[in-house]
Amino acid sequence: MMANHGPSPPTLQELAELVQGRLRDGDPNRRVTGVAPVDEAGPDDITWATSVHFARQLASSRAGAAIVPERCGPTPMPAILCGDVEDALSRVLGRFHVPYGAPPAGAHPTAVVLPEAEIGADAAIGPHVVIGRGARVGAGSQLHAGVHVGDAAVIGERCVLHPGAYVGDRCTLGDRVVLKPGAVIGSDGFGYNFRRGGHQRIPHIGVVIIEDDVEIGANSCVDRSKFGVTRIGRGTKIDNLVQVAHNCVIGPHCILAGQVGIAGSVRIGAGVVFGGQSGSVHGVSICDGVQIGAQSCVTKDIETRGTYSGFPARPHIAALRSLAGVERAPELVRQIEQLSRRIAELEAAMHHRENG
């Protein structure tokens, strides 16, 4: 359960107004102290049902109130009716969420701010943060303990960099960017030439630009370009343990789930989704609106929006047909073996008749 830690728990009417819904039954002044699933909610909690079908489960719930779809029938507890339950739930969770451990405005005594760095108004610089020479941190941004911001790097306004995040020299974060713990922006790309009997590192002198409203998960990496820019488009959300290689350009509002790996110089359009443990080979282009299934690999350009899966990634229906064929393979092998034995028997019988 998520409990309220603010100065005053919200009333049912306040929550209804927050989600632009309508309160049905119940005392509008009744206060709610937490949010919990149907089977865990208590009398002071609000729960939810995303559809009329799931609303049937409310009959066995102890919740004090529920968020339900507009067309939902009678419920055993007061209900807030709304057009989009998931969006309403997100707003309610936001009302109860209290950020923990946010550093106070100003710089902690242990922070190191090198000369010519600029710190915006109300920015919060936590313990043992390092801000490089000539770097800029925008107004209202929060840099938690152990964050490193390189020389001439730029952090936009109202960004949140969680403990241990790293932003390399000359790299840029837009406004409202969130880096989760251990995220690395601007490490050198993975590039080598095999010369003189060994792997010789290729210098990477480019930068990374992270546009507005991007979130990057814990221990994910976006590598510095060899030259030019590695770019993550506005509104894109990247899960934990994701690798984006050098010189990639990822469009706006994409989703990269956990353990995705994007090889170098890939171009990804707007609204593309990569499922968990999926990825791409070097240098491919993917158009807008593509969905890549979990554990799939893009090996060539995709020019038509749709869902793709498998190795190599292909239209999902084709991948399913291929999988069905693979699953039938053992039975087909048995049938072939039976036919082979039958043919051998027939040939033996014919040989016997011919030779009397």
Cα–Cα distance list, 56 to 38, 62, 136, 276 (Å): 10, 13, 53, 32
Known catalytic membership, residue 162: no
Residue 46's φ and ψ, nearest 5 degrees, are: -110, 140
Provide the token pair at 195: 């010369």
Bridge partners, residue 208, by sequence = 230
Query: Residue 197, by phi and psi: left (phi above 0), alpha (psi -120 to 50) or beta?
Result: left
Alpha carbon distance 222, 212 (integer Å): 16
In this structure, what are the phi and psi dihedrals at residue 161, rounded to the nearest 5 degrees? -110, 110
Q: Please enumerate, as own/partner, the contacts of 61-65 that have beta carbons within 8 Å and a separation of 24 or more.
A: 63/36, 63/38, 64/30, 64/32, 65/12, 65/15, 65/26, 65/30, 65/32
Most distant CA pair in the chain, distance: 106
The amino acid present at 303, given as its one-letter code, is E
246, 253, 282, 351: which is the annotated catalytic residue?
A: 246
Question: Which of these, 145, 21, 36, 129, lies nearest to 81 by C-alpha position?
Answer: 21
Q: Catalytic residue numbers?
A: 246
